[in-house]
Chain A
Amino acid sequence: MEDEIKNPGLTDEETKLFETLMPEDLNEISAFGVQRRHFLKLLALTGGGMFLFQMMDRHQIFAHPPNEAALNGMKAVSIENGVNVAFKINGARRSLEVDSRMTLLDALRERLELTGSKKGCDHGQCGACTVLVDGRRVLSCLTLAATCEGKSVTTIEGLAKRGELHPVQAAFIKHDGFQCGYCTPGQICSAVALMAEATNGEVSYVTADVRTKGGSVQLSDDEIRERMSGNICRCGAYPNIIAAIREVHSGKEVAQTWQFTGENNEQTFSTGE
């Protein structure tokens, strides 16, 4: 973990980021845990900053006792069959001791404050926990943390680079590819991997002829649908998810299609002008 301790305080850039991303008053931070957590996560979005942050003396900034249990892991006494595991998360090296039973998903959510990956079913039936391990999409709920030694894990928090959204993230916002947002991190991680798979020429169950020789493939909507079928969205954002992925995958703008039946929805709402 030594490589994470570089700077004990907020850099100017991080302070600025704080102001930009957190237009809330600093004085709310100690009273309302969410802000502090958001800040930690937002820092994580800029690329490993969170780990730096975890090592800092948070007293100075948050007038708040550090959450050692949550941030640095449980006391060893409560871990059974402890396994030491070191792996990269979103580019940052991390090592921790886990209960052999702990899934990667629970390690992310309960130990590493990376709660972007969601627990929807815990049994590989929904896809909300999808992360990328060594570049491939997998289910973190069915991956033991102990098996991740030496691997590189990318979660939703690691897709944006220095505050700039991954094109899939931006397309999901543009096309409203989510409602409640709970399946969204998994959908987006899955979609990012899907595009790499298409570039690799991988086939699916709905591919017309699997014997076709490799090379990058342009996916039809049904191809995207089949390849995204491991990510359930109960709000029913599927058509919008397809639009978002199609746009990034094809590089061509996809129309947005809400419509009115006539000259309706005219605004009678005066602004005083």
Chain B
Amino acid sequence: MTVIGKPVDRVDGRLKVTGVATYAAEFNQPNMAYAFPVRSTIAKGTVTAFDTAAAEKSAGVIAVLTHKNASRIKALNPGEQMKAGIIFLGEDLVPLQDNKVHYFGQFIALVVAETYEQARHATVLLKITYASEKHAIDLKSELQKGFKPTKLFGEEAQINPGKTADLIAASPHKIEHTYTTSTENHHPMEPHAAIAVWEGTDKLTLYDATQGVGVTRAIAAYFLNLKPENVRVISPYVGGGFGCKGAWFHIVLAAMAGQVTKRPIKLVITRQMMQTNVGRRGATIQKIALGTDHNGKLTAIRHHNETYTNLAQFFEPSGLQTAVLYEAPLREITYQVARLNIGTPTFMRAPGEAPGTFALESAMDEMAFEMKIDPLEFRVLNHAAADPIKKHPFSCDNLLECYSTGAEKFGWSNRRMQPRQTRNGKYLVGYGMATATYPAGRSSASARVQMTVKGEIKVMTAAADIGTGTYTVLAQTAADVLGVSVDRITVKIGDSSLPPAPIAGGSQTTASVHPAVLAACEMLREDLMKLAVADAKSKLNGRKAEEIAFANAKFFVKGDASMSDSYEGIMRRNGKVMMEACTTVTPASGVGLGTPVAPCMPVPTAPEENSDAKKYSFHSFGAQFAEVWVDEDFGTIRVRRMTSVQDVGRIMNEKTARSQIIGGVIFGLGAALMEATEYDHRWANPVTRSLADYHVPVNLDVPEIDVHFIGKPDPHISPIGARGIGEIGITGVSAAIANAVFNATGKRIRSLPLTMDKLL
């Protein structure tokens, strides 16, 4: 009997459907004041003067903070930051420290007032004088002045530059095309929010909307010069993240306002600020060349990636999947990055693979069409048996099964090779597919588990549930390992005072935190069992561990359920009100995106031998299939159905796992059909200012999505074999849709989004 894998309802479901789950902005404090940021209206230059008189006189205003009067906080220092546990910072721009402006919408001042209305109103009374400088905004022209990054996530960024030209030129079949993707914004439904509460001058509590309380605490502690143990970040529920929550300076702004006013401060950014201040996915220009031999085997792959950044090392790594997919004797992956005066790009759901698979998988479709090979067959033919760059075997690769299952479930055989063959009334109907892939990450994590004599179990770890199902999956884990029902488990996450866990980023939470909870629960169970075995009053007295089984909060002798002892009985007889275990589990491999700040106190378990990045390459794979109906008169596209087959290791919860995949697919559908942040080059301001003009999919845009899992445990990632699942769902989707549009219309659109004007 086990609940792992089962479609257990979310354990936080009731709180969420009744409105009781409490998000960052909802921890109202006594005597709280409200802060509202002021944004620059130029993209580059300096603020030469602030006239704050009218704002300061405005009713209810307590303080106006600018670079002139804000407290000096610590300056940027990448080495020190890393030592302090800041594994990632949204942008290298400490707020209100100087008068420089680096992008339109940058926070340059902060008004604090008694009420939200008063703070917001006073911001319009500020008179700000600027000295503008010429900003950089045009990606194409700025690329020449840009740079060639040398490192990408710690590895070589430029792979075989210039080396594929001859091979491709000599190939009997070749294509070369340029694909572009637009700047996109995350727009989780909950805007970034922080409530900062000071206790004296050296203790700070932050209620924040963050994907990682650990990194948020590290940022606050470092820049405000506080001891990490004096900063507590609380974030039990997060209204979506997708990569944009956890590493931005609104928390520091709120804390700075609290220092000045000696009041708890609430700072919630607006939807408009989410367009400018908390990251985005940078636009890409991707040039792909493919060569094949006469049989359709790839001879070489070249993928040149162009994008931009601003105040960060990060740039959209759209070549990542090209290093993993398909067998080819040689591949070349290169990057050129411009610096633009646009709010800084950051991680956004499947950074790299999301736009990268659009280019690569569109090109694969084009090559297959060129060669008159079925595009699915073309992928099978060129399937990579091992990691093409590292040459390691994949830890667990069932991509070929994803293709075949997807083809069967979707009805791929009904596809016509030639476009424009299928009509339904005024619609042209097309089928398309693409490969999905995303790396499987894992970091070290800690967990504590407590059991009371009444049988109430608390699982504690500083992980996050940004909608991903962490609460539920950890409750299932503890229930299984301890042999109790899920309703006995309370999961406490989203609090930096809990044992550290990695950020909810890089699809690594399940792979990282589950082993820690598993280990802690096993330790607790063993401690309990030892008490029973040593207890003369126990029916298990003197038994060997291998003779003992457990279920229903009891131990019993295998084969004789009458010889049992309840956890409660064991604890009562031994005078225990509560028992506890805590541990840190560190993968041997160093797979993943970073490690927690400090290990949990007790003895770490031994590194796991078989999770070794030196021997294996850890990736998830999948296949995406789309049917589109294109209204030929208008060029409007309706995705009628999608099939997504995913090879993501063991499924921890069928229900929440499926939700993660459909959510990813819908994110991809948005990128495919409508999402684009556009800038007016004269001011470098986003003209898509809010959700009215930055379109994300609404309910009517989204069809039924048929999700299948391979479900085979990955024997190398962790004991249970579950890889992350949060990001792979988006990958390949925009290519599958664009390929289907080609199949429907014969028009190959190489730029996202596929708005109707491109098809008209």
Contact = CB atoms under 8 A, between A and B. Distances in A.
A222 B698 CA distance: 12
A261 B645 contact: yes
A246 B19 CA distance: 22
Nearest to B20: A41
A182 interface: yes
Contacts of B239: 118, 180-183
A256 B655 contact: yes
Contacts of B270: 122
Given A241-B699, A265-B650, A118 B190 contact: yes
A68 B29 CA distance: 10
Contacts of A176: 9-10, 13, 655-656, 658-659
Given A116-B18, A229-B699, A267-B2, A259 B707 contact: yes
Interface in A163-198: 165, 169-170, 172-174, 176, 178-185, 188
Interface stretch (A4-12, A107-115, A132-140, A208-216): A107-115
A14 interface: no
A122 B271 contact: yes
Given A117-B19, A176-B10, A188-B17, A225 B117 contact: no
Given A69-B30, A121-B691, A234 B480 contact: no
B511 interface: no
Identify the interface centre among B271, B665, B700: most chain A CB within 10 Å of its CB: B700
A236 interface: yes
Nearest to B270: A122
A248 interface: no
B692 A179 contact: no
Contact of A237 (B21, B663, B696, B698): B663
A203 to B, nearest CB: 15
A232 interface: yes
Given A118-B189, A182-B188, A234-B240, A261 B25 contact: no
B490 to A, nearest CB: 6
A231 B699 contact: yes
A99 interface: yes
Contacts of B30: 65, 67-70
B580 interface: no
A242 B699 contact: yes
A249 B28 CA distance: 37
Given A126-B189, A265-B5, A106 B116 contact: yes
A240 B711 contact: no
Contacts of B707: 257-259
Contacts of A33: 27, 29
Identify the interface centre among B32, B114, B121, B237: most chain A CB within 10 Å of its CB: B114
B483 A78 contact: no
A195 to B, nearest CB: 15
A37 interface: yes
B4 A269 contact: yes
A251 interface: no
Contacts of B238: 180
A265 B711 contact: yes
B280 interface: no
Contacts of A79: 115
B188 A23 contact: no
Contact of B32 (A69, A181, A260): A69
A91 interface: no
A114 B703 CA distance: 34
B18 A115 contact: no
Contact of A234 (B115, B188, B551, B659): B188
A273 B242 CA distance: 40
Contacts of B690: 121, 123, 125
Contacts of A260: 651, 708-711
A26 interface: no
A34 B711 contact: no
Nearest to B719: A269
A232 B32 contact: no
A179 B12 CA distance: 10
A37 B9 contact: no
A273 B1 contact: yes
A23 B240 contact: no
B31 interface: yes
A116 B14 CA distance: 12
B2 A271 contact: yes
B401 interface: yes
A182 B710 CA distance: 31
Given A69-B31, A173-B13, A261-B645, A234 B5 contact: no
Contact of B708 (A169, A178, A261): A261
Nearest to B59: A80
Nearest to B660: A179
A238 B699 contact: yes
A153 interface: no
Interface in B676-729: 690-692, 696-700, 702-713, 720
B399 interface: no
B450 to A, nearest CB: 11
B655 A181 contact: no
A157 B2 CA distance: 34
A101 interface: yes
A271 B406 CA distance: 34
Identify the interface centre among B14, B548, B558, B706: most chain A CB within 10 Å of its CB: B14
Given A121-B690, A181-B237, A109 B5 contact: no
Interface string B573-609: 0000000000000000000000000000000000000
A89 interface: no
B710 A264 contact: yes
A257 B658 contact: yes
Contact of A273 (B114, B190, B558, B706): B558
Contacts of A182: 23, 188-190, 239-240
B10 A173 contact: yes
A144 to B, nearest CB: 11
B699 A261 contact: no
Contacts of A159: 18
A2 B101 CA distance: 55
A257 B667 CA distance: 20
B7 interface: yes
Given A119-B268, A236-B666, A180 B702 contact: no
Nearest to A184: B16
B202 interface: no
A121 B270 CA distance: 7
A184 B657 CA distance: 19
B550 interface: yes
A239 B467 CA distance: 16
A256 B697 contact: no
13 contacts: A34-B236, A70-B32, A106-B116, A157-B20, A176-B10, A181-B16, A181-B17, A184-B17, A236-B702, A238-B666, A239-B702, A265-B713, A273-B558
Interface of A: 23-24, 33-34, 37-38, 41-42, 45, 65, 67-70, 74, 78-80, 99, 101-102, 106, 109-110, 113-123, 125-126, 128, 155-157, 159-160, 165, 169-170, 172-174, 176, 178-185, 188, 206, 222, 224-226, 228-242, 256-262, 264-265, 267-269, 271-273
> Which 5 A-B pairs have CB atoms at the shortest separation, nearest pair first?
A116-B19, A182-B239, A179-B467, A236-B666, A180-B467
Given A114-B19, A262-B711, A265-B713, 7 more contacts: A38-B15, A38-B22, A70-B30, A80-B60, A184-B17, A256-B655, A265-B711
